[in-house]
Structure 1
Amino acid sequence: MTAEQYDVIIIGGGPIGLACGLNAKKSNLSYCILEKGALVNSIYNYPANMTFFSTSERLEIGGIPFVSNNPKPTRNEALEYYRRVATSSNLNIHLFEKVTEVKKNDTAFSITTNKSQYLASNIIISTGFYDIPYLLNVKGEDLDKVKHYYKDPHYYAFQKVLVVGAANSAIDAALETWRKGATVTMVIRGDKISDRVKYWVKPDIENRIAEGSIKAYFNSTIEEIREHEVDIKTPDGLVTIENDWVLSMTGYQPNLSFLKNLGIELSADEICKPTYSDESYETNIKGVYLAGVICGGMNTHRLFIENSREHAEKIITDISKKKNAQ
């Protein structure tokens, strides 16, 4: 089978990957976007009722207007918007196609997926950080009752739900399942709800905890998970509660192993920030670029859609300049 060859292969079909495709098409570069899941897979995996922190215009890409019925757009509106972007721009995107190997040849990169093989002069990695959940690393975490992604609250109606975490995902899960009739307990490693929680939601969860509607154990961790119980290590000692489901909303991390296997250098500290040019976003591997939140390494709270959109234009400008100079 002869591999298709492109000026650029974009790995990741999230909003920034789509923005890279839009700019590549505008610059008359041959390109293909490879996405291992659904279109904007990370947003698809957000909770069904999630509302963005940003306004709709700050989520726009390619100059295509994002019209929302709400001051802050919802997950469903974002899915509709990015699907419309892909359709109206006729983007060349291959969904449910996972990249399994990338090799550098003399003149191009060879990209192997679960479905095909490609050659590209350049690669843009825009894989986000929503693929690998932080694990609790406790006995019983492998039980089916433990979930690292939360979708719809109705599923947990009238159940005993334990939510782990104190940031937006955990707070949404706690409030929504409680409002569907679940008995909700929270386990929070720190001494308060995260300051990053959406400002219109934070008073809600704090009030529910204060009135006792939702029980919260602060400065606490899970000790062990069993089929019908959970042990919680608290400042006052070990507490055992009855439990049906554990929603571990402890955050996610980028696939830095993929970058390391390509030879991209990472900082030696706990951030593991990849090496790249601030002007072109090209890494220490010539022809390999990074776009979006992956640029921040483990600091996943620094980059968002709204402050990563410019990456696409800078990268494609650099690739076009190099191609024209040949």
Structure 2
Amino acid sequence: MRILVTGTAGFIGAALAQRLLARGDVVHGFDNHNDYYDPALKEARLACFADHPNYTHQRADLADAAAVDQAFATFKPQRVVNLAAQAGVRYSLQNPHAYVQSNLVGFVNILEACRHGEVGHLVYASSSSVYGANRKLPFAVEDAVDHPLSLYAASKKANELMAHTYSHLYGLPTTGLRFFTVYGPWGRPDMSPMLFADRISRGEPIDVFNHGHHSRDFTYIDDIVEGVVRTLDHPAEPDPGYNPDRPTPGSSNAPYRLYNIGNDRPVQLMRFIELLEQQLGRSVEKRLLPMQPGDVADTWADVSALRRDVGYAPDTSIEDGVARFVAWYREYFGK
């Protein structure tokens, strides 16, 4: 297939592009290479596959409607995976306008291009952060998500609503994937696995928020990519069981779906740190601090819908995943 993937210099986008190319798809990448974190890491990811004969790359911003339209007009994608976004919960507290441009303006540009380009399926990144103040665990797509705790979370909820509108009005099949704490080789340096690994490797104290009581549904990158590919290959269809008298966020009479994509096995943050220390061969001081604004205490993905519909079955244990991450970290950074 001809697949347009946005965010191919990013963590998940780069891994997905390589998987699609390996199975014979033709991929057009779209990324603005911004400096939210070190662009050198983005360039290094891209270098792993940029010279593949079935890959083309466009450096442009999703908020630039003309650039998005040009990509669709020249490449003519059959399916689209939108992973480009301004990421990060804490950054949204200081830079809200960046999220409006990328996650709202950029996403409507993608929706319009998919509509006019007659794309067969749009898969887009949502986030576990949409569950916000919810305390019922595990999080299920049938749960209400009306209490976001950050603008980032609100922008992802908005993406889900915008996608539903296009599915309803124009019959565009859309599937939103709520990612849960993705980690692994080539991961983002602003996320806790990389931040902790850096400090542990230097023997520096690490800040542990919520006094170490966090738990996260850490999901290894290979399992995430497997789930994205399986979802991409199953275009959304109207739910025959949809009840307009008792609607839920996870179903619709339009070709629209939402799924959690996680490991379905939450891990205590202190256990994750312990595994990093074991692999790096060093223990460090933990500074236990209060919860940060915008954070949630626990995450746990109910992935039963994704298992049922596409056969999703994450199988990377936290022990194996951390070992692979640290092996890559040591090789890439020479530590």
TM-score range, shorter chain: under 0.3
- What is the TM-score normalised by the length of structure 1? 0.27
Structure having the larger proportion of residues in strand: 1
Larger Rg, first or second structure (1 or 2): 1
- What is the TM-score normalised by the length of structure 2? 0.27
